[in-house]
């Protein structure tokens, strides 16, 4: 019986030795250690033996089982290590291979400039306000001191839904909305957004474009504050060396009104094609908020004053990047947009 156990043990160890993968090893385990295996079957024969022999044979069976179990475990570890090594070898990454090109999106220069303008004013303490693009005649014109039949309406060829509803022609109605919401308290906001005009489709006009409105209302605000603010803006936007100048202009909602030019950043003011040989480039309009506008929107014009300005986003972007045609912003031509990667 003990010889039989020994020969089973030797066969088992040999089978373990010869197994080359985990499936084979599992089969060996089933064959030699399962309840119905030859080795375990010997247990059932123990009852016919005398006590001394029983003990001896039982000991031998257990010893054989332990030896087989240990051999199985060792072999399993060896196979697993080999499998892992083969896998690592197979899946090795060649970091010297050239990478496949991944397309990275770019931001349309319109949004780059809108964001830059916003950042500049937010850094000066301005809050950002928004208003609806579908606006009433009341807000777009009346509250800005542009009554019906006023010639200034002519300048802003509008897109109407009905007699009283239109696509806003400028971001200035947000001035009225912010004033009404602020109920006489000081204001310092910018309002970026889209505006619409029934304009010619040519290189400098579009029926839709972007503006950033600015509005500051408080006690003692004067034109010097407007000049200083826009001077700081021009330097941050176009370079530290830039100067601005104010020219008289007209808007019904500001008095006095100004047109603001920045010294040409192409020629530094000497005169070139970009500035049409004047040394200056017009960048925006502004002025002191008209007392009527303050009053109509709930402010005591004797106590509080304010300034306002409106910046054309595409205009700034065209100047800053030398873009020749406003329609490029909307055509989604990747060859155009990809030139404005943030790097």
Residue 204 beta carbon to ligand PHE: minimum distance, rounded to whole angstroms = 14
The interface with ligand PHE within residues 180-239 (CB under 6 A) comprises 213
Q: Phi and psi for 173 in degrees, rounded to 5?
A: -55, -25
Give, in degrees to the nearest 5, the angle at Cα 225 between 152 and 129.
Answer: 65
Give the residue, chosen from 193, 252, 286, 306, that forms a contact with ligand PHE under the rule CB under 6 A: 286
310 near ligand PHE, judged by CB under 6 A: yes
Give the residue, chosen from 173, 192, 210, 285, that forms a contact with ligand PHE under the rule CB under 6 A: 285
Alpha helices in the chain (DSSP H): 2-18, 22-33, 38-41, 51-90, 109-123, 137-140, 173-182, 223-238, 291-296, 313-321, 334-337
Closest CA to 205 of 323, 313, 327: 327
Complex with ligand PHE: residue 172 or 263, whichever CB lies closer: 172
Question: Is the link from the previous residue into 256 a cis peptide, with omega within 30 of 0?
Answer: yes
Complex with ligand PHE: residue 176 or 308, whichever CB lies closer: 308
Complex with ligand PHE: residue 213 or 261, whichever CB lies closer: 213
Complex with ligand PHE: residue 22 or 181, whichever CB lies closer: 181
Please classify residue 61 by burial: count the beta carbons closer than 10 Å to its beta carbon, then call 0-12 exposed, 13-18 middle and 19+ buried.
buried
Question: How many other CB atoms are found less than 10 A from the CB of residue 105?
Answer: 9
Residue 298 beta carbon to ligand PHE: minimum distance, rounded to whole angstroms = 19
Give the residue, chosen from 32, 126, 251, 265, that forms a contact with ligand PHE under the rule CB under 6 A: 251
252 near ligand PHE, judged by CB under 6 A: no
Provide the mask over 154-173, with x wherever binding to ligand PHE is found by CB under 6 A and - wherever it is not: ----------------x-x-
Which spans of this chain sit near ligand PHE (rule: CB under 6 A)? 170, 172, 213, 251, 254, 285-287, 308-310
């Amino acid at each position: 019986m003990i010889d039989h156990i020994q020969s089973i043990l030797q066969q088992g160890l040999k089978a373990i030795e010869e197994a080359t993968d985990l499936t084979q090893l599992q089969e060996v385990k089933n064959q030699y250690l399962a309840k119905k295996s030859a080795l375990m079957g010997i247990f059932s024969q123990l009852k016919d033996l005398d006590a001394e022999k029983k003990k001896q044979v039982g000991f031998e069976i257990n010893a054989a089982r332990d030896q087989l179990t240990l051999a199985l475990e060792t072999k399993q570890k060896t196979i697993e290590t080999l499998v892992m090594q083969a896998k690592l070898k197979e899946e090795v990454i060649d970091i010297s291979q050239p990478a496949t090109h991944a397309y990275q999106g770019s931001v349309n220069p319109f949004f780059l400039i809108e964001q830059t303008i916003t950042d500049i004013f937010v850094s000066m303490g301005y809050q950002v306000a928004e208003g609806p693009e579908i606006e009433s005649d009341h807000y777009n014109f009346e509250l800005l001191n542009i009554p019906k039949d006023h010639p200034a309406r002519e300048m802003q060829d509008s897109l109407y839904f009905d007699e009283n509803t239109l696509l806003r022609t400028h971001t200035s109605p947000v001035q009225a909305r912010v004033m009404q919401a602020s109920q006489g308290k000081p204001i310092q906001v910018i309002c970026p957004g889209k505006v619409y005009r029934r304009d010619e489709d040519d290189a400098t006009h579009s029926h839709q474009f972007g503006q950033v409105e600015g509005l500051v209302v408080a006690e003692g605000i004067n034109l010097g504050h407007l000049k200083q603010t826009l001077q700081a803006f021009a330097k941050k936007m176009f370079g530290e060396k830039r100067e601005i100048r104010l020219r008289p202009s007209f808007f019904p909602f500001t008095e006095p009104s100004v047109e603001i030019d920045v010294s040409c950043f192409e020629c530094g003011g000497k005169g070139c094609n970009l500035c049409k040989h004047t040394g200056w480039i017009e960048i925006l309009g502004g002025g002191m908020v008209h007392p009527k506008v303050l009053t109509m929107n709930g402010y005591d014009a004797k106590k509080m004053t304010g300034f306002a300005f409106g910046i054309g986003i595409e205009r700034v972007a065209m100047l800053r990047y030398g873009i020749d045609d406003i329609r490029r912003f909307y055509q989604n031509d990747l060859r155009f947009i990809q030139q404005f990667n943030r790097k």
